[in-house]
Amino acid sequence: MNFRAKTVQESIVETVHIIRPSDLNDAGRLFGGVLMQWIDEVAALVAKRHSQMNVTTASVDNLQFLHGAFQRDVIVIIGKVTHVGHTSMEVKVETYVENTDGKRALINRAFLTLIGLGPDNRPAILPRLILKSEEDRKEWERAEIRRSLRRKQREEGFHFYGE
């Protein structure tokens, strides 16, 4: 395993999709489940690049659909690591519709937590994240707040309704 600390930039992933008829729901908009799959794939790629190990998604939160997207729209999805704990990484994924003039409009923002897995398939210690810019440091601080909220929710059994 490679434990070299990495910068945020080293694991950034950007993917592009053109919306096809099979990606649409009955209302003629991009189906939310299709976008969620694309987002999860980007987050997993980011986490794999940072950790250089197998990863699994532990949670998705703050998944906000801000605007719809339609057939033939060009969708750009960008993911980056915002925080690295002992064995978990937070990845922020932003989705845009790109117009023909190259301008991008944000349509979705999501935060995913992915866990690095060792050869025994158990959570494994991750390489550190190098924060180079003020933006990296701000993202880290915001991620720490989300991380503690997530932990509190887990402790309170928030994510297991009815149990």
Ligand X SMILES: CC(C)(COP(=O)(O)OP(=O)(O)OC[C@H]1O[C@@H](n2cnc3c(N)ncnc32)[C@H](O)[C@@H]1OP(=O)(O)O)[C@@H](O)C(=O)NCCC(=O)NCCS
- Residues found near ligand X in the complex (CB under 6 A): 56-59, 85-88, 113, 115, 123, 150, 154
Question: Rounded to the nearest whole angstrom, what is the least distance from the CB of residue 1 to ligand X in the complex?
Answer: 16
Calpha distance 40→86 (Å, rounded) = 21
In the complex, least distance from residue 127 CB atom to ligand X, rounded to whole angstroms: 13
Nearer to ligand X, 85 or 107 (CB): 85
CB of 114 to ligand X, least distance (A): 9
Which candidate, 74, 75, 96, 84, places its Cα nearest to that of 49?
A: 84
Q: Which is nearer to ligand X, 15 or 57 (CB)?
A: 57
Q: Residue 62: what residue type?
A: N
Q: Residue 90 or 136: which CB sits closer to ligand X?
A: 90
71 neighbors 24 (Cβ within 8 angstroms): yes
* Torsion angle defined by CA atoms of residues 124, 112, 2 and 4, in that order, rounded to the nearest 10 degrees: -120
Nearer to ligand X by Cβ, of 6 and 150: the residue is: 150
- Is residue 60 within 8 Å of residue 94, measured between CB atoms? no
For residue 90, the minimal CB distance to ligand X (Å) is 8
